Chain A
Amino acid sequence: MRWMWIDRVVELQPRQRLVSIKHISLAEEHMHEHFAATEARSSLPVMPGSLIVEGVAQSGGILIGHALAFEQKIVLAKVTRVDLDHDATAGDTLRYTITIDQFGPQGASTKGVVDLLEVWSGKSRTIGHIDLMFSVLENNMAGIEFPEGNFVFGEAFKTLMRNSGVLIPGE
Protein backbone atom coordinates (compact mmCIF):
# COMPACT_ATOMS: atom_id res chain seq x y z
CA MET A 1 0.00 0.00 0.00
CA ARG A 2 1.92 2.99 -1.24
CA TRP A 3 2.19 6.12 0.77
CA MET A 4 -0.13 5.15 3.60
CA TRP A 5 1.53 6.18 6.83
CA ILE A 6 -1.02 4.71 9.19
CA ASP A 7 -1.87 1.04 9.49
CA ARG A 8 -5.30 1.14 11.08
CA VAL A 9 -7.96 3.43 12.43
CA VAL A 10 -8.75 2.10 15.90
CA GLU A 11 -11.35 4.63 17.05
CA LEU A 12 -13.61 7.08 15.27
CA GLN A 13 -16.04 9.43 16.95
CA PRO A 14 -17.68 11.22 14.02
CA ARG A 15 -16.88 14.93 13.75
CA GLN A 16 -14.88 14.78 16.98
CA ARG A 17 -11.98 12.40 17.32
CA LEU A 18 -10.02 9.69 15.54
CA VAL A 19 -7.30 7.42 16.86
CA SER A 20 -4.96 5.57 14.50
CA ILE A 21 -1.82 3.49 14.84
CA LYS A 22 1.35 3.06 12.84
CA HIS A 23 3.68 0.12 13.43
CA ILE A 24 7.27 0.85 12.53
CA SER A 25 9.23 -1.92 10.84
CA LEU A 26 12.79 -2.39 9.71
CA ALA A 27 11.31 -3.68 6.44
CA GLU A 28 10.46 -0.08 5.55
CA GLU A 29 13.14 1.05 3.16
CA HIS A 30 13.42 4.56 4.47
CA MET A 31 14.53 3.21 7.84
CA HIS A 32 17.76 2.09 6.22
CA GLU A 33 18.52 5.50 4.81
CA HIS A 34 17.34 7.45 7.83
CA PHE A 35 20.03 7.25 9.06
CA ALA A 36 22.52 5.10 7.19
CA ALA A 37 25.80 4.10 8.81
CA THR A 38 28.75 6.42 8.38
CA GLU A 39 32.42 5.92 9.07
CA ALA A 40 31.88 7.52 12.44
CA ARG A 41 28.84 5.53 13.64
CA SER A 42 26.66 2.54 12.90
CA SER A 43 23.21 2.88 11.27
CA LEU A 44 20.52 4.67 13.25
CA PRO A 45 17.01 3.74 12.10
CA VAL A 46 14.63 6.54 13.07
CA MET A 47 11.10 7.15 11.83
CA PRO A 48 11.31 10.47 9.93
CA GLY A 49 9.36 13.29 11.55
CA SER A 50 7.96 14.31 8.17
CA LEU A 51 6.31 10.89 7.80
CA ILE A 52 4.86 11.16 11.29
CA VAL A 53 3.32 14.47 10.20
CA GLU A 54 1.99 12.74 7.08
CA GLY A 55 0.44 9.97 9.20
CA VAL A 56 -1.26 12.53 11.43
CA ALA A 57 -2.44 14.37 8.31
CA GLN A 58 -3.90 11.19 6.82
CA SER A 59 -5.67 10.50 10.12
CA GLY A 60 -7.07 14.03 10.26
CA GLY A 61 -8.09 13.82 6.60
CA ILE A 62 -10.13 10.68 7.31
CA LEU A 63 -11.79 12.28 10.35
CA ILE A 64 -12.83 15.36 8.36
CA GLY A 65 -13.59 13.42 5.19
CA HIS A 66 -15.86 11.08 7.16
CA ALA A 67 -17.78 14.08 8.53
CA LEU A 68 -18.43 15.13 4.93
CA ALA A 69 -19.35 11.61 3.75
CA PHE A 70 -16.10 11.54 1.71
CA GLU A 71 -17.81 13.65 -0.94
CA GLN A 72 -15.32 16.50 -0.85
CA LYS A 73 -11.60 16.75 -1.33
CA ILE A 74 -9.81 17.36 1.93
CA VAL A 75 -6.15 18.31 1.74
CA LEU A 76 -3.52 19.30 4.25
CA ALA A 77 -3.12 23.05 3.92
CA LYS A 78 -1.05 24.18 6.86
CA VAL A 79 1.21 22.65 9.47
CA THR A 80 0.52 24.87 12.45
CA ARG A 81 2.62 23.14 15.06
CA VAL A 82 5.01 20.20 15.24
CA ASP A 83 6.71 19.26 18.48
CA LEU A 84 8.39 15.88 18.58
CA ASP A 85 10.71 15.30 21.49
CA HIS A 86 11.66 11.64 21.14
CA ASP A 87 12.70 9.35 18.30
CA ALA A 88 10.61 6.35 17.27
CA THR A 89 12.33 3.30 15.83
CA ALA A 90 11.69 -0.20 14.51
CA GLY A 91 9.44 -2.23 16.80
CA ASP A 92 7.72 0.85 18.17
CA THR A 93 4.08 1.65 17.56
CA LEU A 94 2.91 5.21 17.14
CA ARG A 95 -0.59 6.20 18.15
CA TYR A 96 -2.09 9.37 16.70
CA THR A 97 -5.06 10.92 18.49
CA ILE A 98 -6.68 13.63 16.41
CA THR A 99 -9.42 15.97 17.59
CA ILE A 100 -11.22 18.56 15.53
CA ASP A 101 -10.60 22.00 16.95
CA GLN A 102 -12.69 24.04 14.50
CA PHE A 103 -14.71 23.09 11.46
CA GLY A 104 -16.24 25.30 8.79
CA PRO A 105 -17.34 25.06 5.16
CA GLN A 106 -13.87 25.98 3.93
CA GLY A 107 -11.81 23.76 6.17
CA ALA A 108 -10.90 22.58 9.62
CA SER A 109 -8.18 22.78 12.21
CA THR A 110 -7.12 19.75 14.21
CA LYS A 111 -5.00 19.01 17.24
CA GLY A 112 -2.95 15.84 17.29
CA VAL A 113 -1.16 13.95 20.04
CA VAL A 114 1.58 11.46 19.17
CA ASP A 115 2.11 8.63 21.63
CA LEU A 116 4.83 6.02 21.46
CA LEU A 117 3.81 2.52 22.55
CA GLU A 118 6.35 -0.14 23.47
CA VAL A 119 4.62 -3.43 22.73
CA TRP A 120 7.16 -5.49 24.66
CA SER A 121 6.92 -3.45 27.88
CA GLY A 122 3.32 -2.30 27.60
CA LYS A 123 4.48 1.25 28.33
CA SER A 124 3.36 4.31 26.45
CA ARG A 125 4.22 7.97 26.55
CA THR A 126 3.40 11.12 24.67
CA ILE A 127 6.26 12.18 22.42
CA GLY A 128 4.72 15.00 20.46
CA HIS A 129 1.97 17.34 19.34
CA ILE A 130 1.04 18.09 15.74
CA ASP A 131 -1.62 20.68 14.91
CA LEU A 132 -2.79 20.99 11.32
CA MET A 133 -5.21 22.83 9.06
CA PHE A 134 -7.12 21.21 6.25
CA SER A 135 -8.78 22.85 3.30
CA VAL A 136 -11.95 21.71 1.58
CA LEU A 137 -10.79 22.17 -2.00
CA GLU A 138 -14.28 22.75 -3.39
CA ASN A 139 -14.61 25.81 -1.11
CA ASN A 140 -11.04 27.08 -1.14
CA MET A 141 -10.59 30.81 -0.75
CA ALA A 142 -8.16 31.12 -3.66
CA GLY A 143 -11.01 30.23 -6.04
CA ILE A 144 -8.87 27.61 -7.80
CA GLU A 145 -10.71 24.86 -9.68
CA PHE A 146 -9.71 21.21 -9.32
CA PRO A 147 -10.65 18.00 -11.20
CA GLU A 148 -14.10 16.68 -10.32
CA GLY A 149 -13.15 13.15 -9.28
CA ASN A 150 -12.19 12.65 -5.66
CA PHE A 151 -8.46 12.07 -6.07
CA VAL A 152 -7.90 12.39 -2.32
CA PHE A 153 -9.89 9.44 -0.99
CA GLY A 154 -8.68 6.89 -3.53
CA GLU A 155 -8.27 3.14 -3.31
CA ALA A 156 -5.43 3.20 -0.79
CA PHE A 157 -7.53 5.19 1.69
CA LYS A 158 -10.57 3.04 1.05
CA THR A 159 -8.64 -0.16 1.69
CA LEU A 160 -7.34 1.25 4.95
CA MET A 161 -10.83 2.30 6.01
CA ARG A 162 -12.42 -1.03 5.08
CA ASN A 163 -9.67 -2.84 6.94
CA SER A 164 -10.38 -0.67 9.97
CA GLY A 165 -14.14 -1.17 9.82
CA VAL A 166 -14.87 2.43 8.87
CA LEU A 167 -18.06 2.58 6.84
CA ILE A 168 -17.69 4.19 3.43
CA PRO A 169 -20.94 5.67 2.07
CA GLY A 170 -22.22 3.82 -0.98
CA GLU A 171 -20.50 0.52 -0.15
Chain B
Amino acid sequence: MTRDDIYAKVKEILADAMGVDEGDVTPEATLRGDLGAESIDFLDIVFRLEQAFGIKIQQGELFPDSLAQNADFVQDGKVTARGIAAIKEKLPHVDLSAFEKDPQVSKIGDIFTVEALVRFVQNKLASVPG
Protein backbone atom coordinates (compact mmCIF):
# COMPACT_ATOMS: atom_id res chain seq x y z
CA MET B 1 0.00 0.00 0.00
CA THR B 2 1.43 3.38 -1.02
CA ARG B 3 1.62 6.45 1.20
CA ASP B 4 -1.15 8.05 -0.87
CA ASP B 5 -3.41 5.02 -0.36
CA ILE B 6 -2.85 5.21 3.38
CA TYR B 7 -3.47 8.96 3.43
CA ALA B 8 -6.75 8.56 1.51
CA LYS B 9 -8.00 5.95 4.00
CA VAL B 10 -6.87 7.95 7.03
CA LYS B 11 -8.67 10.98 5.63
CA GLU B 12 -11.89 9.01 5.29
CA ILE B 13 -11.52 7.56 8.79
CA LEU B 14 -10.99 10.96 10.41
CA ALA B 15 -13.87 12.55 8.52
CA ASP B 16 -16.19 9.75 9.70
CA ALA B 17 -14.90 9.64 13.27
CA MET B 18 -15.17 13.36 13.90
CA GLY B 19 -17.83 14.45 11.47
CA VAL B 20 -15.56 16.88 9.62
CA ASP B 21 -15.23 17.50 5.90
CA GLU B 22 -12.55 15.47 4.18
CA GLY B 23 -11.25 18.77 2.80
CA ASP B 24 -10.31 19.84 6.33
CA VAL B 25 -8.20 16.73 6.83
CA THR B 26 -4.88 18.00 5.52
CA PRO B 27 -1.53 16.39 6.43
CA GLU B 28 -0.59 19.22 8.78
CA ALA B 29 -4.00 19.44 10.50
CA THR B 30 -3.85 18.69 14.23
CA LEU B 31 -6.38 16.19 15.54
CA ARG B 32 -7.34 18.19 18.61
CA GLY B 33 -6.86 21.81 17.58
CA ASP B 34 -7.90 21.73 13.93
CA LEU B 35 -10.25 18.77 13.76
CA GLY B 36 -11.76 19.07 17.24
CA ALA B 37 -10.90 15.59 18.54
CA GLU B 38 -11.83 14.86 22.16
CA SER B 39 -10.30 12.11 24.27
CA ILE B 40 -12.84 9.45 23.22
CA ASP B 41 -12.16 10.26 19.56
CA PHE B 42 -8.59 9.03 20.00
CA LEU B 43 -9.92 5.60 20.98
CA ASP B 44 -12.39 5.73 18.10
CA ILE B 45 -9.52 6.50 15.71
CA VAL B 46 -7.49 3.58 17.09
CA PHE B 47 -10.43 1.20 16.59
CA ARG B 48 -11.07 2.43 13.05
CA LEU B 49 -7.39 2.23 12.04
CA GLU B 50 -7.24 -1.34 13.36
CA GLN B 51 -10.24 -2.35 11.26
CA ALA B 52 -9.30 -0.47 8.11
CA PHE B 53 -5.68 -1.62 7.96
CA GLY B 54 -5.96 -4.99 9.73
CA ILE B 55 -3.43 -3.99 12.39
CA LYS B 56 -3.36 -4.28 16.17
CA ILE B 57 -2.52 -1.14 18.12
CA GLN B 58 -1.48 -1.52 21.75
CA GLN B 59 -2.57 1.00 24.38
CA GLY B 60 -0.13 3.93 24.35
CA GLU B 61 1.43 2.94 21.05
CA LEU B 62 -0.19 5.63 18.91
CA PHE B 63 -1.01 8.25 21.57
CA PRO B 64 0.74 8.47 24.96
CA ASP B 65 -1.55 7.42 27.80
CA SER B 66 0.17 8.55 30.97
CA LEU B 67 2.62 11.29 30.06
CA ALA B 68 1.01 14.06 32.10
CA GLN B 69 0.88 11.88 35.24
CA ASN B 70 4.63 11.19 35.21
CA ALA B 71 6.49 13.74 37.36
CA ASP B 72 9.76 12.98 35.56
CA PHE B 73 8.24 13.93 32.25
CA VAL B 74 6.24 17.02 33.21
CA GLN B 75 7.34 19.85 35.46
CA ASP B 76 5.77 23.29 35.90
CA GLY B 77 3.37 22.63 33.09
CA LYS B 78 6.13 21.81 30.61
CA VAL B 79 7.38 18.55 29.19
CA THR B 80 10.93 17.96 30.39
CA ALA B 81 13.91 16.91 28.25
CA ARG B 82 13.42 13.37 29.56
CA GLY B 83 9.78 13.57 28.58
CA ILE B 84 10.68 14.70 25.07
CA ALA B 85 13.20 11.87 24.77
CA ALA B 86 10.59 9.38 25.97
CA ILE B 87 8.05 10.60 23.41
CA LYS B 88 10.64 10.34 20.62
CA GLU B 89 11.43 6.79 21.61
CA LYS B 90 7.85 5.62 22.12
CA LEU B 91 6.23 7.57 19.31
CA PRO B 92 8.66 7.74 16.39
CA HIS B 93 5.83 8.71 14.02
CA VAL B 94 5.45 12.10 15.72
CA ASP B 95 7.35 15.20 14.55
CA LEU B 96 8.38 17.12 17.68
CA SER B 97 10.45 19.88 16.03
CA ALA B 98 7.84 22.63 16.57
CA PHE B 99 6.70 21.41 19.99
CA GLU B 100 10.25 21.30 21.40
CA LYS B 101 10.54 25.10 21.06
CA ASP B 102 7.71 25.63 23.58
CA PRO B 103 6.94 22.26 25.20
CA GLN B 104 3.89 23.25 27.23
CA VAL B 105 1.99 20.13 28.22
CA SER B 106 -1.28 21.86 27.34
CA LYS B 107 -0.09 21.90 23.73
CA ILE B 108 0.86 18.24 23.58
CA GLY B 109 -2.24 17.56 21.50
CA ASP B 110 -0.74 19.60 18.67
CA ILE B 111 1.90 16.96 17.97
CA PHE B 112 -0.78 14.58 16.72
CA THR B 113 -1.27 15.57 13.14
CA VAL B 114 -2.85 13.71 10.26
CA GLU B 115 0.64 13.17 8.87
CA ALA B 116 1.69 11.52 12.16
CA LEU B 117 -1.14 9.02 11.77
CA VAL B 118 -0.17 8.28 8.17
CA ARG B 119 3.45 7.74 9.25
CA PHE B 120 2.31 5.49 12.10
CA VAL B 121 0.30 3.28 9.75
CA GLN B 122 3.18 3.18 7.26
CA ASN B 123 5.58 2.03 9.99
CA LYS B 124 3.07 -0.46 11.30
CA LEU B 125 2.39 -2.03 7.90
CA ALA B 126 6.11 -2.15 7.12
CA SER B 127 6.72 -4.13 10.32
CA VAL B 128 4.15 -6.79 9.41
CA PRO B 129 5.96 -9.85 8.02
CA GLY B 130 5.19 -10.84 4.45
Q: Using a CB–CB distance below 8 Å, which chain A residues touch chain B?
A: 77-78, 80, 101-102, 104-107, 109, 133, 135, 139-143
Residues from chain A with a CB closer than 8 A to the CB of B65 are 106, 141
- The size of the chain B interface, using a CB distance under 8 A, is 16
B47 contacts partner chain A, Cβ-Cβ < 8 Å:
yes
* 0/1 string, B25-48, CB within 8 A of A gives 1: 000000000000001111110110
Name 21 interchain pairs, CB-CB below 8 A, sorted by A.
A77-B40, A77-B43, A80-B44, A101-B47, A104-B47, A105-B59, A106-B43, A106-B59, A109-B44, A109-B47, A133-B40, A133-B43, A133-B44, A133-B47, A140-B39, A141-B40, A141-B42, A141-B43, A141-B65, A143-B68, A143-B69
Please tell me if B51 contacts chain A, counting CB pairs below 8 Å.
yes
Tell whether B73 is near chain A: CB-to-CB under 8 Å.
Answer: no
A102 touching B47, Cβ below 8 Å: yes
7 smallest CB-CB distances across A and B, nearest first, come from A77-B40, A142-B39, A102-B47, A141-B39, A78-B40, A107-B43, A106-B43
**A136 nearest CB neighbor, chain B only:** B43
Chain B contact residues, CB within 8 Å of chain A: 39-44, 46-47, 50-51, 59, 63, 65-66, 68-69
Q: Cβ of B43 and Cβ of A135 under 8 Å apart?
A: yes
Chain B nearest CB from A140 CB (Å) reads 7
Instruction: Report chain A residues within 8 Å CB of B42.
Output: 141
CB B37 to nearest CB in A, in angstroms, measures: 11
Chain B residues with CB under 8 A of A107 = 40, 43
User: For residue A101, which residues in chain B have a CB less than 8 angstroms away from its CB?
Assistant: 47
- Is A78's CB under 8 angstroms from B44's CB? yes
- Do A104 and B59 have beta carbons less than 8 Å apart? yes
CB distance from B50 to the nearest CB of A (A): 7
